[in-house]
Amino acid sequence: MKQHQWEAYESISLPAIQHIMTDMMKDLHAFLEENEIPYCLAYGSLLGAIRHDGFIPWDDDMDIFMMRKDYLRFEALAKTKLPKRFFLQTPLSDRHFRLLHVPYKVRDQHSTLLEEPDRFYHQGAFIDIFVLDDVVDEDNLNRALKRCSMLSSLKMRIDASQLKGVKKYLRIALQLLFKPIPAAWIYRYNRKRADRLKKDEKSAYVQVGIEHMERLRMRRSDLFPLQLHTFEDTQFYVPHHSDTILKHIYGDYMQLPDPKDRVPHAKFYLDKAVFEWKS
């Protein structure tokens, strides 16, 4: 990745990077359709689709849901058939990548969203994939989620000033203890725990996978069957009952946030050799 060879890049605007991500999603949508792999928009991308028929104006990434069995098939196909513009980023495919709570990203090879300037992992424009599991053995699922979340959190950056007392020193001690352990090892452990979970495609509920440190649970009937919905100048899949899911995640999701909160999270750069944008 050339993210530190700055002479090959130029700064671009948020609308330009949103254009790139829409184009990325079009290509990914086509690939998934061709290979009969179901997906749907998730989180902020779903909110943008329903509230704005496209991006939230200040959003700078894309999120999709995919059932685990479908993600595993996508991961296998990606090794040889994924379009060359894409890079499937995991802690195994990128040794510098340690974001264990969002371990599956489809990256663009020719752009940079600079979220962490001092890190050397691939930081192209991205689509986050959130894997979903069947909810079968709830007690086992919750135990696995607790264990995987604890391990993943030890590789996250923390602001020690926000912690107090014994918790502060315990957290610092654990992070120092686990520092020599590669993120890839924790990732493999989390994947093995996920693989051992019971499966049932008729379960009433699905839940965001244990490796994501999320507790979002949805009725399967709210998710499926998927349907197409307008997104910018095209259409992508959304859940069957998007309103129910968005209310569960965000509450009154049609209410816009305060202006001070309407800001992107990263700085954007583009490979001059590949794209040319008019200001």
pLDDT(216) > 90: yes
Q: By percentage, how much of the chain surpasses pLDDT 70?
A: 84
Residue 86 neighbours by CB under 8 Å, 6+ apart? 24, 27, 28, 78, 106, 107, 108, 109
pLDDT(221) > 90: yes
pLDDT tens-digit map of 49-59: 999 999 999 89
Least confident range from 1-5, 15-19, 26-30: namely 1-5
Sign, CA dihedral 80-86-92-95, equals positive
pLDDT at 241: 99
* Mean predicted confidence (pLDDT) in 132-149: 92
pLDDT(148) > 60: yes
SS3 of the chain: helix, strand, coil, percent, to 5: 40, 20, 40
pLDDT at 90: 93
Give the start-to-end residue ranges of the domains of the chain.
Answer: 6-134+215-271
Residue 203 neighbours by CB under 8 Å, 6+ apart? 134, 135, 136, 220
pLDDT at 5: 57
Query: How much is the mean pLDDT over the chain?
Result: 86
If one counts every other C-beta atom within 10 angstroms of the C-beta of residue 200, the result is 10
Are 37 and 237 contacting, i.e. CB atoms less than 8 angstroms apart? Answer: no
* Mean predicted confidence (pLDDT) in 237-252: 98
In CATH terms, the fold of domain 6-134+215-271 is: Beta Polymerase; domain 2 (3.30.460)
Give the whole-angstrom CA distance, residue 34 versus residue 26. 12
Give the whole-angstrom CA distance, residue 15 versus residue 55. 9
pLDDT tens-digit map of 166-205: 766 776 777 777 777 888 999 999 999 999 999 999 999 9
Furthest-apart CA atoms within the chain: distance in Å: 55
pLDDT(3) > 60: no
